[in-house]
Amino acid sequence: MSFVTESLFVLRSRLHLVAGVFAAVLLSACATGVKIDNQYTSENQDSRVLFLVLHYTVGNFQSSLKTLTLPSNRPVSSHYLVQDDPVKTYKLVDETQRAWHAGPSTWRGHTNLNASSIGIEIVNPGIIKTPEGPRFAPFSQAQMEEVLALSKEIVVRHKIRPERIVGHSDIQPQSKQDPGAMFPWKQFADAGLIAWPDAELVAQRKAVYAQELPNLEWFQAKLASHGFGVPRSGELDPMTRNVISAFQMKYRPSLYSGEPDAETAALLDVVNNPDGMRLNSPPPPTKPYTSRW
């Protein structure tokens, strides 16, 4: 072997050695990752989850599960699905992930609530035919107790404020009606999850508005102040009717025609009055939710 050949051989050997060492270092870095020191925690933080949105599925359990889990041209999903018979809760999307349930939504200045909400889908057919005409289907008490238990734990876990527990019809009143007029929002109020208008004050204000009803600009302003995205046309256009109907379904479900009247005006007055809403004691902290089935 000549001197030149021997030198080239040694050089190649050294280059291979250096390359091997460099590769080993890279592999070691990949294996260990960045070393994070967790001894400090900022007090300036909260959950990324700001809202809890409640829905009904418009279908039975099997069709609802298919819609919420399988690919489609218009994919939808929800964090939880609450079955009706037997009552059982399924987690479909982890709470750390974004589910596609809220659509082009708005509430209290927030938009696109998918990014900041947890969705609960409740198995329920929605509007059904009856001898008296179309009606919202009722929810069983057992199913509602399951939804309440789940909601309480989500609210505690993420410290969701009462005014941010909403129905799909609240955040998308032009196209959605769920969870509908049969959804027992008053039970949520009794459980301390949402605030509820003071009945005595509503009665007092109703007597006043029965004498003279405010104009449509007043109704639209009060609806917007409460949280809805609503036109400010000063007219009873179809979009405004939809928003009034969504409000009525929550606080006056016996009549949700979308027609402005004295009781609706009284309710709008009271819900926008800080002294007019009553909030029961909030639910105590609980362990992470697991279905009782």
Annotated catalytic residues are 121
Neighbours of 154 (CB within 10 A): 20
Q: Using CA atoms, how far apart are residues 293 and 139, in angstroms rounded to an integer?
A: 19
CA angle 244, 249, 251 (to 5 degrees): 95
Amino acid occupying residue 52? L
128, 64 Cβ separation under 8 angstroms:
no
Residue type, 206: K
Answer positive or negative: Cα dihedral of 93, 98, 104, 106.
positive
Distances (CA, A) of 268 to 118, 189, 190: 27, 17, 20
CB 86 within 8 A of CB 47: no
Distance CA 153, CA 205 (A): 35
Collapsed DSSP state (helix, strand, coil) of residue 271 = helix
Secondary structure (3-state) at 55? strand
Give the Cα separation of 188 and 177 in Å (integer).
18
Tokens of 81: 């699905």
